[in-house]
Structure 1
Amino acid sequence: MTDVLRIGVVGVGIMGADHAERLARRTAGARLVAVADPDEVRAKELAGRFDGVRSGGDALELIAAEDVDAVILASPGSVHEEQVLACLAAGKPVLCEKPLTMDSESSLRLVQADREVRGRLGRSLVQVGFMRRFDPEYSQLRSVLAGGTLGRTLLLHNVHRNASVPHADFRSEMIVRDSLVHEIDVARFLFGEEVVAIQVMSPAPTTHASPGVVDPQVAIFTMAGGGLVTNEVFVNSQVGYEVRCEAVAERGSVVIGRPSAGLYSATLAADGSGQWGGTVPADYRTRFATAYDLEVQSWVDSALRGESVGPSVWDGYAATAVSSAGMTSLATGERVTVDLVDPLTLSPNASSTKEPS
């Protein structure tokens, strides 16, 4: 065990820059030492905000560096498999932002690679960035449902809205793979079981979406125990960032993410801000600031102890498998069964829907 974990960040977009700031300013036991991105100018600009942080364009070079103990991957999902494998080969803990990879097959390869490392080291090295598990409200909701006072959980209702999406090449499939993936993990986390089927449906699209983009979308999950989960994802709502969840059980219900009592009305004010009588957060960094801080601090603390906590590589694979089925459903409109391997054929400890310690 060491006193300080030296960390490199791969990817310097919005999320990578936010993590760099978090590591440098607000995370105990962590020291940001390097950032890497193919856009070397942007990487250099980010590194320049902090003393003693270097920048580069090669992610694999950063991962292999002797002065980097652990890595946060905030890079595109299309390169996660190669980068996670490099972290495993180097024996370095990695916090990989969602999605784990872009398809079930590559995610399963990472599950198998992590199993081999766990066999040698006695611990996993991969944590997936499903930060809602660390959000105090979601954590409390999980505790209430698991405590049994409300009886068996029957339904979840999730709402996930963004004001807009930043890039013109945004596609309908990205709502399933990059946004709905959080609701997939929430469903597994709160029910404590797998999603076995998904159906994605769409109303007439908003005029604020790019041509051909199906937005909003409504997805229905069927859980292994028979529960149902409804999910609205609307990425061009024009108002702000809204995420809330209602759990319905046999003897009561619980709502989180709703900051007002009585009538709730999200509107667009004259100055362009989203309002409910207060202010709707502009984006996820505000809504889940505490969750991200707790997530990264927990990851750093566990890495320093030589342990592994939080969403596992199996959780990342399971979410990707549901997303893959969801993209098929988006194209066909049909209910699609999730093709998930039996975790017992991989490792007795592979499946983890437990609350992070």
Structure 2
Amino acid sequence: MTLPSSPDPATAVSGHPLRVGVVGVGVMGADHVRRLATRIANATLVAIADPDAERAQELADEPGAGVRVIADPMELIADDGVDAVLLASPGAVHTEQLLACIERGTPVLCEKPLTMDSESSMRVIEAERAGGRALVQVGFMRRFDPEYARLKQLLDSGDLGRTLMLHQVHRNLTVPNPHFASEMIVRDSLVHEVDCARWLLGEEIASVQVISPTPTRHALEGVVDPQVSIFRMASGAVVTNEVFVNSRTGYEVRCEAVAESGSAIIGRPASGIYTTRTVPGGGAGSWGGGIDPDYRTRFERAYDLEVQAWVDATRRGELVGPTSWDGHASTVVCTAGMESLATGAPVDVALRAPAIRA
């Protein structure tokens, strides 16, 4: 489910550095602002937009930034001095912002989720199709992580035979959001495991079941944490996932692939028996070495490679990485996952092709 991504003179900007605007300067957006200002080649950060004007101005004034602050994100998208947009805004406003980028023919790197529901994500796909060009890359950065890339290469090589199972673990130190809900574990965290399963195995998820163990005492009242989910893939392969957002040990992401002639594990910083323990008084735990405190540390290299690849491809008039279809498929799976969370029963995943417009 792809659109043309060959060089297009209408979208290529190879004659000068890519002028990038960032929408949303929360934790992830601020990280991208600093990344674009200091570590990405052939790109210039020119503008940022966020409802928190004071926060945006602080970022703009940091050494190496020196960018314009535009109050309205839609004004940034419409600005003639912006060649491409990185969306790190809340998912609830992605649809409007993505459609505005597509209407202007502006390439966009959109942090997950693509949109909040399957209907709106399908609108994004159909808008791209109507324009005849793929413009949206979705921020599933694990595809750019060197370990994940090596695992993908190994599985695709066939050296281990047919892949039968994946076991995925995704743990956060803690969640400070006082309004955090059980559904957010599926929509905002498990979504990465959804994309990894589809990408690593090269097929769609046929059904999803979310199981609710006894919650940790650190979870907010009524929040189911941790959660275990099971994906059944189109081929019959099975993927198990643990998502634990209040693990109190640190940020851990790993994946084990089990195939007919061997297995492979990524994300383990030590060999042998690997244990994690809570540090008295709070903070990230340890295994005898350190545990990454959050995703920005664990996947810093992946984010750098992701944004650099997006910049380089955009300057050529191309698109690399996860597409709007990948974002849509993940949204559909997570919607089914939230239904399963409520019932405990497996839920089939039904993907439909976008409408073909005359």
TM class by shorter-chain length?
A: over 0.9
The answer to whether the aligner puts 1:7 opposite 2:17 as a matched pair is no
* Structure-1 separation of matches of 2:196 and 2:127: 25
Aligned-residue sequence identity (percent) comes to 64
Residue equivalent to 2:353: 342
* Structure-1 separation of matches of 2:66 and 2:286: 41
Q: CA deviation at 1:271?
A: 5.6
Q: State the superposition RMSD in angstroms.
A: 1.2
Deviations 1:61-94 (A, max 9, x none): 0000011100000000000000000111111100
The answer to whether the aligner puts 1:193 opposite 2:207 as a matched pair is no
The answer to whether the aligner puts 1:324 opposite 2:330 as a matched pair is no
The answer to whether the aligner puts 1:313 opposite 2:327 as a matched pair is no
Of 295, 308, 319, the residue aligned with 2:306 is: 295
Residue equivalent to 2:180: 170
Q: Secondary structure of the residue that 2:166 maps to in structure 1?
A: strand
TM-score normalised according to structure 1 size: 0.94
Residue equivalent to 2:146: 136
The answer to whether the aligner puts 1:42 opposite 2:52 as a matched pair is no
* Structure-1 separation of matches of 2:192 and 2:219: 21
The answer to whether the aligner puts 1:66 opposite 2:80 as a matched pair is yes
2:76 aligned partner, one-letter code: L
For the Cα contact (< 8 Å) 1:199–1:221, is it kept in 2? yes
Q: Report how many residues are paired.
A: 342
Of 91, 94, 100, the residue aligned with 1:77 is: 91
- Structure 2 spans left out of the alignment, 5+ residues: 1-13
TM-score normalised according to structure 2 size: 0.94
Q: CA deviation at 1:44?
A: 1.1
Of 210, 213, 225, the residue aligned with 2:220 is: 210
Deviations 1:230-265 (A, max 9, x none): 000000001100000000000000000001011101
Deviations 1:89-108 (A, max 9, x none): 11110000000011111111
Deviations 1:102-130 (A, max 9, x none): 1111111111111122x2xxx31100000
2:24 aligned partner, one-letter code: G
1:260 aligned partner, one-letter code: A
* Structure-2 separation of matches of 1:113 and 1:51: 33
Runs of 4+ in 1 over 4 A off after TM superposition: none
Q: Secondary structure of the residue that 2:309 maps to in structure 1?
A: helix
* Structure-1 separation of matches of 2:300 and 2:176: 20
Quickly say closer, same or farther: Cα 1:267–1:342, change in 2 above 3 A: same
Residue equivalent to 1:250: 260
Q: Secondary structure of the residue that 1:308 maps to in structure 2?
A: coil
Residue equivalent to 1:226: 236
For the Cα contact (< 8 Å) 2:34–2:65, is it kept in 1? no
* Structure-2 separation of matches of 1:256 and 1:63: 38
Q: CA deviation at 1:346?
A: 4.9
Q: How does 1:109-120 map to 2 (within 5 A)?
A: 109-117=123-131, 119=132
For the Cα contact (< 8 Å) 2:59–2:65, is it kept in 1? no
The answer to whether the aligner puts 1:31 opposite 2:44 as a matched pair is yes
Residue equivalent to 1:20: 33
Quickly say closer, same or farther: Cα 1:51–1:101, change in 2 above 3 A: closer
1:275 aligned partner, one-letter code: S
Residue equivalent to 2:271: 261
Q: CA deviation at 1:51?
A: 4.3
For the Cα contact (< 8 Å) 2:51–2:71, is it kept in 1? yes
Quickly say closer, same or farther: Cα 1:27–1:146, change in 2 above 3 A: same
